[in-house]
């Protein structure tokens, strides 16, 4: 089972986000035990921006078990086609092509996509199973 990971999930974990950090960490961990984790150029670049040192970034991605897999021509083409459909149907510019690249990459190389942007991806990449850590049950306190 291959899971493509969106940058929002990785950044939740790295920043220990109070709203989503726990759930993102737990779902990411679960996906890792079920198979491989992959990320494309877009996610790689967005997460890398959070680090001042390349070595630290590489170490963290390695410890998380996330492997870089580049976009293929087919994914780029699908991204463009989907972006065009989105805009033709009145899609606002609050979505950028990068989001479509992440979805197209996941559709071609993974069995599912781990993201908190589930509505968008479920609407435009219906052939991808979308996992949303924000829908997970919060930890029990007691």
User: Which pTM value belongs to this model?
Assistant: 0.89
Q: What is the C-alpha separation between 37 and 29, in angstroms, rounded?
A: 10
Q: What rounded mean pLDDT belongs to the chain?
A: 90
pLDDT of residue 135: 80
Say whether 67 sits in a helix, a strand or coil: strand
What integer pLDDT is reported at residue 124 of this predicted model? Answer: 85
Neighbours of 112 (CB within 10 A): 18
User: Hey, what CATH class is 2-134 in?
Assistant: alpha beta
Identify which of 10, 5, 70, 8 has the alpha carbon closest to the alpha carbon of residue 40. Answer: 70
Question: What is the 3-class SS of 28-40, one letter each residue?
Answer: HHHHHHHCEEEEC
């Amino acid at each position: 089972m291959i899971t493509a990971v969106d940058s929002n999930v990785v950044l939740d974990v790295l920043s220990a986000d109070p709203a989503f950090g726990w759930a993102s960490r737990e779902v990411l961990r679960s996906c890792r035990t079920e198979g491989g984790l992959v990320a494309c150029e877009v996610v790689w670049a967005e997460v890398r921006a959070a680090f001042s040192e390349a070595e630290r970034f590489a170490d963290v991605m390695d410890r998380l078990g996330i492997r870089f897999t580049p976009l293929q021509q087919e994914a780029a083409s699908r991204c463009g086609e989907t972006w065009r459909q989105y805009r033709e149907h009145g899609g606002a510019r609050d979505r950028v092509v990068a989001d479509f690249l992440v979805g197209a990459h996941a559709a071609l190389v993974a069995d599912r996509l781990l993201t908190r942007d589930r509505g968008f991806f479920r609407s435009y990449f219906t052939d991808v199973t979308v996992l949303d850590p924000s829908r997970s049950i919060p930890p029990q306190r007691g």
